[in-house]
Amino acid sequence: MRFVRGKIELKVQKIPRPFPEHVHAVTIWPVIVYEPHVWDDPCVQIHERYHWMDQIRWLLIPWFAAYLVLRPFYGGGKSHPLEKEAYNRQSLCESST
């Protein structure tokens, strides 16, 4: 466990259901959860910490409601409107390293 500017970050062996197998980190305010192989990845941290702030802006329940309503139309990846900016920031990080 670590605390980063008010964020509680946990390392778990595996992200639990209902999250898909390909998800290796998840944010549910006020906690960010990482699998061990992405725990120290600064680009994944940027992605998840963006979600942490986004969930504060939206409030947690409306954010998740919007995420779930939009998921059938966009999926859960880079094309999802609530994922786009997080993935943009992650990509910028990856291209600068």
Q: Copy the structure tokens of residue 49.
A: 């910490």
Q: Could you report the per-residue pLDDT of 4-34, keeping only the tens digit for each?
A: 999 999 999 999 999 999 999 999 999 999 9
Q: Could you report the per-residue pLDDT of 42-88, keeping only the tens digit for each?
A: 999 999 999 999 999 999 999 999 999 999 999 988 999 999 999 99
Distance, in Å, from the CA atom of 47 to the CA atom of 87, rounded to the nearest integer, reads 6
What integer pLDDT is reported at residue 6 of this predicted model?
92
Q: Copy the structure tokens of residue 84.
A: 């786009």
Domain boundaries, the chain: 2-96
Average confidence score pLDDT of the chain: 96
Distance, in Å, from the CA atom of 82 to the CA atom of 96, rounded to the nearest integer, reads 23
pTM value? 0.94
